Structure 1
């Protein structure tokens, strides 16, 4: 991916989060890998059962800002 394919928020110009950003970011609680939920525009920690919002292209990586996943939604995200 070239620099022209990214905006300054680390998102691809097609609207997806840059995979390189996902390689760097981890859950602040569990230090485990996050997955990107494009439909909800969130970074999801299955280990902590939390979803961190992305606002204006910036992941908000605080537990206070995170949404707790319910069992139904977390099963859907992991499949």
Structure 2
């Protein structure tokens, strides 16, 4: 596991990997919506698109992501 450099004091994000699979966890610990720059994942050498295993939503690393209060994402490369 490796923590990603925080860009927002209310959001924690980290990488986990096992047997060639990578999981990116992003969690908003605030009762207010927060934003995350998804481009940062590309600078880590990761894919351009991710799928959230909890909601099945596809996210692009080209966008700014708005997290709902207390939202949790489990992202896998899509």
The TM-score normalised by the length of structure 2 is 0.28
Give 1 or 2: higher helix fraction: 1
The TM-score normalised by the length of structure 1 is 0.28
> Highest Rg: 1 or 2?
1
Taking CA–CA contacts closer than 8 Å with sequence separation of 6 or more, which of the two structures ends up with the larger relative contact order? 2
